[in-house]
Amino acid sequence: MIKFIHKILNLLKQYSIKKFYTVLILSLLISIIELLGVSLIMPFIAIASDFNNISENKYLSIVYGFFEFDSSVVFVLTIGISLVFFYLFRMLMNILFANKISNFSYKFYEYIVSTLYKRYIYISYKNFMKENSASYSKAIINEAQSFTFMIIAFLQMISEFFVVFFIYTFLLYVNFEATLYISIVMMFLVLIIMKPISKKIKNVGIEREIGQKQVYESLHSTFGNYKILKLHESKKFNINNFEQSIKKLVSSNIVFQTISPIPKLLLEFLGFSVILIVISFYVYTQEKNIQNILPLVSVYVLAMYRLLPSVSRIVTGYNSLLFAHKSFEIISEHLLYKIEKLGTDKINFENSILINKGVFYYEKKEKIVINNISINIKKGESIAFIGPSGSGKSTMVDIIMGLQILNSGSLNIDDVEINENNIQSYRSKIGYIPQQVYLFDGTVKENIVFGEEYDEEQLISVLKQAQIYDLLLQKDGVNTLVGESGNLLSGGQKQRIAIARALYTNPDILVLDEATSALDNDTEAKIMDEIYNISKDKTLIIIAHRLSTIEKCDRVYEINNGTLKNAR
DSSP string, 287-309: GGGHHHHHHHHHHHHHHHHHHHH
Q: How confident is the model at residue 233 (pLDDT cuts 50, 70, 90)?
A: low
> What average pLDDT does this structure show over 348-373?
85
The reply to whether 427 falls in a domain is yes
* Rounded Cα gap, residues 543 and 557, in angstroms: 10
Higher pLDDT, 258 or 117: 117
34 and 163 Cβ atoms separated by less than 8 Å: yes
Q: Are residues 392 and 324 in the same domain?
A: no
* Dihedral pair phi/psi, residue 190, rounded to 5°: -65, -45
* Rounded Cα gap, residues 144 and 105, in angstroms: 11
Give the C-alpha distances (Å, rounded to integers) separating 545 from 335, 393, 477.
Answer: 41, 11, 33
466 and 497 Cβ atoms separated by less than 8 Å: yes
* Rounded Cα gap, residues 204 and 248, in angstroms: 10
pLDDT number for residue 142: 80
Least trusted range by pLDDT, from 70-84, 288-302, 400-414, 488-502: 288-302
Q: How confident is the model at residue 486 (pLDDT cuts 50, 70, 90)?
A: confident
The reply to whether 255 falls in a domain is yes
* Rounded Cα gap, residues 524 and 515, in angstroms: 10
The reply to whether 204 falls in a domain is yes
Least trusted range by pLDDT, from 112-121, 344-353, 468-477: 112-121
Higher pLDDT, 320 or 224: 320
Give the DSSP letter of residue 141.
I
Burial of 17 by CB count in 10 Å (0-12 exposed, 13-18 middle, 19+ buried)? exposed
367-397 CB burial, b ≥16 within 10 A, e <16: ebbbeebebebebebbbbbbbeeebbbbbbb
Here the CATH number for the domain that contains residue 366 is 3.40.50.300
Residues in the chain: 568
Tens of pLDDT, residues 512-560: 887 666 667 777 777 777 778 777 788 999 987 767 778 888 899 888 8
Rg of the chain in Å (alpha carbons): 35
Q: Are residues 319 and 425 in the same domain?
A: no
462 and 504 Cβ atoms separated by less than 8 Å: yes
Q: How confident is the model at residue 436 (pLDDT cuts 50, 70, 90)?
A: confident
pLDDT number for residue 415: 86
The reply to whether 239 falls in a domain is yes
What lies within 8 Å, CB to CB, of 266 at 6+ separation is 189, 193
Summary count for the chain: helices (H), strands (E): 22, 10
Q: Are residues 321 and 424 in the same domain?
A: no
pLDDT number for residue 439: 83
* Rounded Cα gap, residues 102 and 316, in angstroms: 18
Least trusted range by pLDDT, from 119-123, 208-212, 369-373, 478-482: 208-212
What lies within 8 Å, CB to CB, of 455 at 6+ separation is none
Q: Are residues 123 and 254 in the same domain?
A: yes
Here the CATH number for the domain that contains residue 289 is 1.20.1560.10
443 and 497 Cβ atoms separated by less than 8 Å: no
Q: Are residues 255 and 374 in the same domain?
A: no
Answer whether residue 15 shows pLDDT above 80: no
pLDDT number for residue 291: 59
Q: Are residues 362 and 498 in the same domain?
A: yes
* Dihedral pair phi/psi, residue 188, rounded to 5°: -60, -45
The reply to whether 31 falls in a domain is no
Give the DSSP letter of residue 339.
B
DSSP per residue, 430-456: EEEE-SS----SSBHHHHHHTTSPP-H
Q: Are residues 195 and 295 in the same domain?
A: yes
> What average pLDDT does this structure show over 450-475?
87
pLDDT number for residue 82: 87
Residue 388 φ/ψ region, left for φ over 0, alpha for ψ in the -120 to 50 degree band, beta for the rest = beta
The reply to whether 469 falls in a domain is yes
Ranges of H-type helices in 401-520: 423-427, 444-449, 456-465, 469-473, 491-504
Tens of pLDDT, residues 195-232: 777 777 778 777 877 877 777 777 766 655 554 455 55
Number of domains in the chain: 2
Task: Share the mean pLDDT of the chain.
Answer: 80
- Return the SS3 of 154: helix
pTM attached to this predicted model = 0.70
Q: What domain range is 499 assigned to? A: 352-566
Q: Are residues 164 and 302 in the same domain?
A: yes
When mean pLDDT is compared over 99-113, 229-243, 315-329, 373-387, the highest value belongs to 373-387
pLDDT number for residue 209: 77
pLDDT number for residue 234: 56
pLDDT number for residue 105: 82
Ranges of H-type helices in 324-451: 325-335, 393-400, 423-427, 444-449
Q: Are residues 140 and 221 in the same domain?
A: yes
* Rounded Cα gap, residues 158 and 163, in angstroms: 9
> What average pLDDT does this structure show over 154-163?
84
pLDDT number for residue 1: 61
Closest residue by Cα to residue 409 from 453, 455, 356, 468: 356
- Return the SS3 of 126: helix
> What average pLDDT does this structure show over 19-42?
83
Last residue of a domain, one of 335, 367, 386: 335
pLDDT number for residue 284: 67
Answer whether residue 267 shows pLDDT above 80: no
Give the C-alpha distances (Å, rounded to integers) separating 543 from 39, 157, 355, 371, 479.
Answer: 80, 59, 17, 19, 31
Last residue of a domain, one of 335, 366, 396: 335
The reply to whether 455 falls in a domain is yes
Closest residue by Cα to residue 205 from 329, 322, 313: 322
Q: How confident is the model at residue 150 (pLDDT cuts 50, 70, 90)?
A: confident
Q: Are residues 192 and 330 in the same domain?
A: yes
* Dihedral pair phi/psi, residue 465, rounded to 5°: -65, -30
The reply to whether 90 falls in a domain is no
Q: Are residues 512 and 365 in the same domain?
A: yes
Q: Are residues 321 and 422 in the same domain?
A: no
pLDDT number for residue 225: 56
